[in-house]
Structure 1
Amino acid sequence: MSFALDDPDDHVQRHLVRGRFYEADLLPTHGDLVWMRSTVLDVGANVGNHTVWYALRTRAARVYPFEPNPPTAALLRDTVERNGLAKVDLTHLGKGVGSRRRDLYVHAAPGEHNLGGTSLRKQGDVAVAVHPLDGLDFEGPISLVKIDVEGMELQVLAGAEALVAEHRPGLAAEVRTKHLAAFWAWVEAHDYHVVRAHKMYADNVNYVCVPRS
């Protein structure tokens, strides 16, 4: 297994360079929620850390990564193709995910060595098509949706109402501190239960949630 990388000092890539998965302590909790022969959505896939782990270490039949930043998406595609990861479906690679269909623009994170800090904004130079998950097609029952989208997590959830109602997937979401109240309101309104909360950084919390019913 080898990753296509472009910056050994990058926040995520520096783990992969050393032969370790980023957020390795959280990934097994994600894996526990993946059913046999099910589908996983990796929304905000970066260079493919989670996508590759889901493909290699879980019982999923397929993994759909979403990564709107063109250079980052190219690295992920290279990794999938060079390793022959047949479980990874690249149909939606390059798309952004939000509450409705529109175009937004890629905004690189301030400073260096953090591709994962790239966000989507209303103005910029590189346009990206943003879609609600409810407007896209996926094969198979969806057991897990992972969301790491630099502050757009509630927009992603708002665009996945039908998907959540139909599939009742597990959720693994990075939530900005300023969105915590709204996220907990969503959890209660959709009858979910938080089974793990992990605070790695001051500005966000990683939650793992399962449906109550």
Structure 2
Amino acid sequence: MSTVEVILQSCLSKPAGNSLLVEQYVSDTASGRRYLLGRNEHAAEIMQMIEVDGIIDDFATNGTTWNNKPVLTTEQLPDQSMVVNCAMCIAPVSAARRLQKHGAIEILSLAELCSHLPQRFKLPWFVSQTRDEIRNHLSAWNSLSTALVDKQSQQTLNDLLHFRLSGDYHYMSGYSVRPEEQYFEPFIEPSAAHVFVDGGGYDGDTTEQFCHRYPGYRQVYLFEPTPTNLANARRRLKHQRNITFIAQGLSDQQGSLPFDTEAGSASAVDPQSSQQIQVTTLDQAVSEPISFIKMDLEGWELQALQGARIHIQDDRPSLAIAVYHQAADFRRIFDYVTGLYPDYQVYLRHYTEGWSETIMYFIPANIKQN
């Protein structure tokens, strides 16, 4: 069996954690010591199934409630409490370590509840999605796995697959939250800094990092469709030179799209939204050769790449593309980009302890950039 298939079978066949502790947590209704860590959709779903005594959030204001339950910090937990760690997106490992310092508590993962009581507790969306994706496209995932060019990329994919196929955050213990390093790695040559595209520019934080790391750059094109975010980016970058701010999103064709403009850095195309943004293609918006493209578009990266086909084929830019929003994006983005230029060297890096912030890098091989 291939490495991907071995990981899939392992995650499907091996129950996570301690079944006795799970049973104790679920059945212990009268002790006043049953808690959840995290205010998110996973915690809300558990609260629909069982009664809990409170929610843990170390960053909440004192006296806060959530879904009619008190919100506590780790330090306020009673001794002998039992806690299910529902953190999945950014820092589940750090959250568990803070709990462990408390000492007199028992910690379970959400994966343990789902593994031992699957009839009662639903798998996180990213787990069920990844299982379906790999079952249906195993051969393509094998191709992706073997195409990664260094051991760190291969290990990153293996660790992410273990986590995304099981929901067990312990597989991410070797990772940390490091947003300042995202999109910028040593294998990106300085020549890639000539003309930079920031797709999903948000408040200018990535462009600011780019300008700091590559002070000899020639031009930046920052695409951001949300007016508030774009205004913040202009203020943040007012002392930087040669930045073109474009108040549009990136897609595979010009036009308008429904968009949630109120979600901050997570603002995204949303078919249910009544708000509209204007979108363009990178091929239409930028006429000069491009040397480095970053895209983090909350799941719209493939469409934006399709609108950059000519630049990718003609310019061979370095690419830093978010692939974490949907399980299929790993495969679809890899297939699309390497279909345009098969000689790209492909790297994978991850920047949190959870399922978010995975970047796939495409580095042109033996191409001298302008």
Residues of 1 paired with 2:290 and 2:298: CA distance? Answer: 23
- The correspondence for 2:349, drawn from 197, 208, 213, is 197
Could you tell me how far 1:38 is from its partner in structure 2? Answer: 1.3
> 1:72 and 1:53, CA in 2 relative to 1: closer, same or farther beyond 3 A?
same
Higher normalized helix content (fraction of residues): 2
Of the two, which has the highest radius of gyration? 2
Write the letter of the residue equivalent to 1:102: G
Q: Does 1:87 align with 2:239?
A: no
CA RMSD of aligned residues (A): 2.5
Matches within 5 A, 1:166-177: 166-175=314-323, 176=325, 177=327
The residue aligned with 1:51 is 207
Contact 2:193 2:292 in 1 (8 A): no
Residues of 1 paired with 2:291 and 2:357: CA distance? Answer: 24
Give unmatched runs, 5+ long, in structure 2: 1-58, 60-177
Deviations 1:151-210 (A, max 9, x none): 001001111110111110000011132322212212331222213322533155211211
Write the letter of the residue equivalent to 1:130: V
Contact 2:349 2:359 in 1 (8 A): yes
The residue aligned with 1:3 is none
Farther-moved stretch of structure 1 (146-155 vs 122-131): 122-131
- The correspondence for 1:183, drawn from 312, 327, 333, is 333
The residue aligned with 2:150 is none
Residues of 2 paired with 1:115 and 1:137: CA distance? Answer: 26
> 1:204 and 1:76, CA in 2 relative to 1: closer, same or farther beyond 3 A?
closer
Residues of 1 paired with 2:193 and 2:260: CA distance? Answer: 36
Contact 2:347 2:361 in 1 (8 A): yes
Write the letter of the residue equivalent to 1:163: H
Give unmatched runs, 5+ long, in structure 1: 1-8, 10-21
Residues of 2 paired with 1:31 and 1:46: CA distance? Answer: 25
Contact 1:54 1:63 in 2 (8 A): no
> 1:206 and 1:39, CA in 2 relative to 1: closer, same or farther beyond 3 A?
same
Matches within 5 A, 1:137-148: 137-139=286-288, 141-148=289-296
Could you tell me how far 1:127 is from its partner in structure 2? Answer: 2.1
Contact 1:30 1:208 in 2 (8 A): no
> 1:39 and 1:80, CA in 2 relative to 1: closer, same or farther beyond 3 A?
same
Contact 2:348 2:358 in 1 (8 A): no
The residue aligned with 2:301 is 153
Aligned length: 185
> 1:31 and 1:79, CA in 2 relative to 1: closer, same or farther beyond 3 A?
farther
- Structure with the greater relative contact order (CA < 8 A, sep ≥ 6): 1 or 2? 1
Write the letter of the residue equivalent to 2:332: A
Q: Does 1:78 align with 2:235?
A: yes
> 1:195 and 1:179, CA in 2 relative to 1: closer, same or farther beyond 3 A?
closer
Matches within 5 A, 1:11-22: none
Aligned to 1:142, the other structure's residue is in SS state coil
> 1:135 and 1:35, CA in 2 relative to 1: closer, same or farther beyond 3 A?
same
Contact 1:44 1:65 in 2 (8 A): yes
Runs of 4+ in 1 over 4 A off after TM superposition: none
Instruction: Provide TM-score, normalisation by structure 1.
Output: 0.76
> 1:30 and 1:128, CA in 2 relative to 1: closer, same or farther beyond 3 A?
farther
Instruction: Provide TM-score, normalisation by structure 2.
Output: 0.46
- Identity value in percent: 23
